[in-house]
Amino acid sequence: MSNLFDSTTSALGTSLNMRLLKHNITSSNIANAETPGYHAKKIDFENALARALDIDDLRGMSTSSPEHFVVGGASAKVRPDIYENPEGAINNDGNTVDLEREMSNLAENTILYKAALSLINKKLAALRYAVTENR
């Protein structure tokens, strides 16, 4: 059975999942902007997405026999690194959240999420058109 979705659709789906995680982390930072001692979190989004999509073919492995297990590819679960933001300045209460920066990051991430979602919708609309064209 052939794969119904191409690599672009898979890449967009992976991007949506990573952007959702980035949204949750940024929202958590905003929610804890007034929490004493809270350290803002950051996600290594670009490197994780590159690993998940295998852009540089670093994980590209092939099998020499059809009996071998496939390693990597769509079945590989790549999780981005989440760490304390080293760029944050510490306030008097020990909090490192920069509310303006976090709000800006949230707005940017929302725009990019919606763009990826729109592209997936267009790909699915093209598939729907191809399926229903001969009715």
pLDDT digits (tens, 9 = 90+) for 102-135: 999 999 999 999 999 999 999 989 888 888 876 6
Gap between the Cα atoms of 63 and 58, Å rounded = 15
Residue 2, in any domain of the structure: no
Number of domains in the chain: 1
Gap between the Cα atoms of 63 and 65, Å rounded = 6
6 pLDDT above the threshold of 90: no
Residue 1, in any domain of the structure: no
pLDDT band at 81 (very low <50, low <70, confident <90, very high): confident
Tokens 């052939």 — which residue? 2
Q: Residue type at 22?
A: K
- Tell me which H or E stretch contains 43: strand 41-43
Gap between the Cα atoms of 107 and 130, Å rounded = 35
Quote the pLDDT of residue 63.
Answer: 57
Quote the pLDDT of residue 8.
Answer: 80
Under DSSP, is residue 28 helix (H, G, I), strand (E, B) or coil? Answer: helix
Q: Which residues form the domain of 90?
A: 7-132
Under DSSP, is residue 67 helix (H, G, I), strand (E, B) or coil? Answer: coil
Average pLDDT of the segment spanning 72-81:
57
Quote the pLDDT of residue 64.
Answer: 63
